[in-house]
Amino acid sequence: MIVLGLNETHCATAAVLRDGKIVACASEERFTRVKNDAGYPRRAVDALLASLGLSPKDIDLVALAGARMAAKEWLDRVLQDEAYSREYYGVRLPSARRALGKRFRKLGAKFGLIDASRGKFGIPQAERLALVTDHLGIAADRIVCLDHHTCHAAAAYLGSPFRGAPALVLTNDNSGDGLCATVSTAEGGRLTRHEATPSAPGSLGALYSFVTLYLGMKFGEHEYKVMGLAPYASESGRRRAYGALKEIFDLVEETPCRFQWLKPGERYQLLQRACLALRFDGVAGGAQQLLEEILLRWVRTARARYDGSRLALGGGVFMNVKANMLIGEEPGIEDLFVFPSCGDESNAVGAAYLAYCQECARRGIAPSPEPFGPAYLGPDVADAEIEALIRERNLEARYKVALHDRIEEKIAELLVSDGVVARCAGRMEFGARALGNRSILANPSDHRVVPLINRMIKNRDFWMPFAPTVLKEREADYLANPKGLASPYMMLAFRTHEKRQGELIAALHPQDGTARPQILEESWNPQYYRVIREFERRTSIGAVLNTAFNLHGEPIVRSPADAVDTFERSGLPHLALGQFLISKR
Residue 573's domain comprises 383-584
Please check whether residues 297 and 395 belong to one and the same domain: no
Please check whether residues 140 and 189 belong to one and the same domain: no
Residue partners of 27: CB distance under 8 A and separation at least 6: 11, 12, 13, 37, 41, 44, 345, 430, 431, 555
Question: Does 84 fall in a domain?
Answer: no
Question: Does 114 fall in a domain?
Answer: no
Please check whether residues 411 and 326 belong to one and the same domain: no
Question: Measuring CA to CA, which residue among 359, 414, 316 is closest to residue 36?
Answer: 316
pLDDT tens, N- to C-terminus, the chain (585 residues) = 999 999 999 999 999 999 999 999 999 999 999 999 999 999 999 999 999 999 999 999 999 999 999 999 999 899 888 888 888 898 875 555 555 555 555 555 455 544 444 556 789 999 999 999 999 999 999 999 999 999 999 999 999 999 999 999 999 999 999 999 999 999 998 999 999 999 999 999 999 999 999 999 999 999 999 999 999 999 999 999 999 999 999 999 999 999 999 999 999 999 999 999 999 999 999 999 999 999 999 999 999 999 999 999 999 999 999 999 999 999 999 999 999 999 999 999 999 999 999 999 999 999 999 999 999 999 999 999 999 999 999 999 999 999 999 999 999 999 999 889 999 999 999 999 999 999 999 999 999 999 999 988 888 888 999 999 999 999 999 999 999 999 999 999 999 999 999 999 999 999 999 999 999 999 999 999 999 999 999 999 999 999 999 999 999 999 999 999 999 999 999 999 999 999 999
Question: Does 501 fall in a domain?
Answer: yes
Please check whether residues 351 and 322 belong to one and the same domain: no
Give the span between the Cα atoms of 159 and 169, in whole angstroms.
Answer: 12
CATH number at residue 458: 3.90.870.20
Question: Does 97 fall in a domain?
Answer: no
CATH number at residue 264: 3.30.420.40
Please check whether residues 220 and 141 belong to one and the same domain: no
Alpha helices in 93-143 (DSSP H): 96-110, 125-136
Count of H-run helices and E-run strands, the chain: 21, 22
Please check whether residues 168 and 245 belong to one and the same domain: yes
Please check whether residues 236 and 260 belong to one and the same domain: yes
Question: Does 116 fall in a domain?
Answer: no
Please check whether residues 140 and 171 belong to one and the same domain: no
Please check whether residues 298 and 401 belong to one and the same domain: no
Question: Does 77 fall in a domain?
Answer: no
Kindly report whether the global pTM for this prediction surpasses the value 0.85. Answer: yes
Question: Does 109 fall in a domain?
Answer: no
Number of structural domains in the chain = 3
Please check whether residues 350 and 304 belong to one and the same domain: no
Please check whether residues 351 and 402 belong to one and the same domain: no
Please check whether residues 225 and 290 belong to one and the same domain: yes
Confirm if 26 and 52 have CB atoms less than 8 A apart: no
